[in-house]
């Protein structure tokens, strides 16, 4: 998507991560693995685990509350709520409607979006389009996941990867030439089989057999997803730079999906970016799917790393297989 100069950007950000920490040493007691193996292959040291009596909507609400406060708006100013998640509280009502009620966003429409780890970027595109078309003024976009609820803790190849959390952003009008400059989305359904949750939908409803066969947990062919991610992340980043007639030397920060440190490093090297221009926090949280980019962005902004007029690329990939990227000139 090539954008014009109408200024639409992020007005405020927020995050929520659960208090409970699961370390690599904890995992050593649960499955045949060890801290060195996990850190070397993934870059992850620990991840957060949502409390048993809470759900995705709780995390989404907490992150959203902070984003609205950071934006200087009130809940009544929000016209649309989009929640990106693969772990909704339930099939329906949508998690977005639950968040709307929790926050008192009485003037907002609300719906969920599912594009796995690319979901926040898909949501950015939808929010931009709604504001640009004049249909709404302010959009609350949330990426929230309770991935540990669908993690198979007997599978040593996947259980080390995932964590829970939520990140949120409020989008609205910013000065011309600021905010979102270019967007890119893509999908290749041929690779859908490489990252799935087989049971629980209309194809394989829950049965005694589906539960016994552990079909309600994440299944991933890691090598195929890795190859896809390495190929996609750098290409998607260059795509938005080309659309905005900018060079990689113009980039101040890259905020990638936090899935695996080897994927991030490979993308960074392809783009010829120094380490200090890449935001990384997966060592603390693991892969939080659609929450990973907004949480990393919020931390980078709140820590003072990202400042006004910085050129920032957000880029990710996910199940589907899907990918997305966004170039924005930060204005807050």
Residue ranges in the chain assigned as alpha helix (H): 24-28, 35-42, 56-71, 95-103, 119-132, 208-212, 222-243, 261-271, 282-285, 292-302
Measured CA to CA, the distance from residue 82 to residue 218 in angstroms comes to 24
Pairing of strands 179-187, 164-173: unpaired
Q: Tell me if residue 331 is catalytic.
A: no
Is residue 147 within 8 A of residue 204, CB to CB? The reply is: no
Residue whose C-alpha is closest to residue 98's, from 65, 56, 137, 127: 56
Q: Which position among 24, 97, 105, 117 bears the catalytic label?
A: 117
Q: Tell me if residue 216 is catalytic.
A: no
Q: What is the DSSP string of 128-196?
A: HHHHHTTS-S-EEEEEEEEGGGG--TT-TTTTTTB-EEEEEEEEEE--TT-EEEEEEEEE-GGGGGGEE
Burial of 143 (0-12, 13-18, 19+ CB in 10 A): buried
Q: Tell me if residue 260 is catalytic.
A: no
Q: Which position among 184, 257, 260, 311 bears the catalytic label?
A: 257
Is residue 316 within 8 A of residue 287, CB to CB? The reply is: no
Measured CA to CA, the distance from residue 153 to residue 268 in angstroms comes to 31
Query: What is the set of active-site residues?
Result: 117, 257, 287
């Amino acid at each position: 998507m090539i954008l014009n100069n109408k200024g639409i950007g992020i007005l405020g950000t927020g995050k929520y991560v659960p208090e409970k920490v699961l370390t690599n040493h904890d995992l050593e007691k649960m499955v045949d693995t060890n801290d060195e193996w996990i850190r070397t292959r993934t870059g992850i040291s620990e991840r957060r685990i949502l409390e048993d009596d809470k759900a995705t909507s709780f995390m989404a609400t907490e992150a959203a509350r902070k984003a609205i406060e950071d934006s200087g708006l009130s809940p009544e100013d929000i016209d649309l709520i989009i929640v990106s998640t693969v772990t909704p509280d339930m099939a329906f009502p949508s998690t977005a409607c639950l968040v709307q009620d929790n926050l008192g966003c009485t003037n907002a429409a609300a719906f969920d979006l599912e594009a796995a780890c690319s979901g926040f970027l898909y949501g950015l595109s939808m929010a931009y389009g709604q504001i640009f078309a004049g249909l709404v003024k302010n959009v609350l976009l949330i990426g929230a996941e309770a991935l540990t609820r669908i993690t198979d803790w007997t599978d040593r190849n996947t259980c080390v990867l995932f964590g829970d959390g939520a990140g949120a952003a409020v989008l609205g009008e910013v000065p011309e030439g600021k905010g979102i400059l270019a967007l890119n989305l893509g999908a290749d359904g041929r690779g859908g089989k490489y990252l799935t949750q087989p049971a629980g939908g209309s194809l394989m409803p829950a049965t005694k057999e589906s539960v016994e066969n552990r079909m309600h947990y994440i299944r991933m062919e890691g090598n195929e997803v890795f190859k896809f991610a390495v190929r996609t992340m750098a290409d998607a980043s260059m795509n938005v730079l080309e659309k905005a007639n900018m060079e990689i030397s113009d980039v101040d920060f890259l905020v990638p999906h936090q899935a695996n440190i080897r994927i991030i490093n490979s993308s960074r090297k392809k783009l010829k970016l120094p380490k200090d221009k890449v935001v990384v926090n997966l060592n603390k949280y693991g892969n939080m799917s659609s929450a990973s980019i907004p949480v990393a962005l919020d931390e980078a902004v709140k820590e003072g790393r990202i400042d006004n007029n910085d050129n920032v690329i957000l880029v990710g990939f996910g199940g589907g297989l899907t990918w997305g990227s966004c170039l924005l000139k930060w204005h807050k």
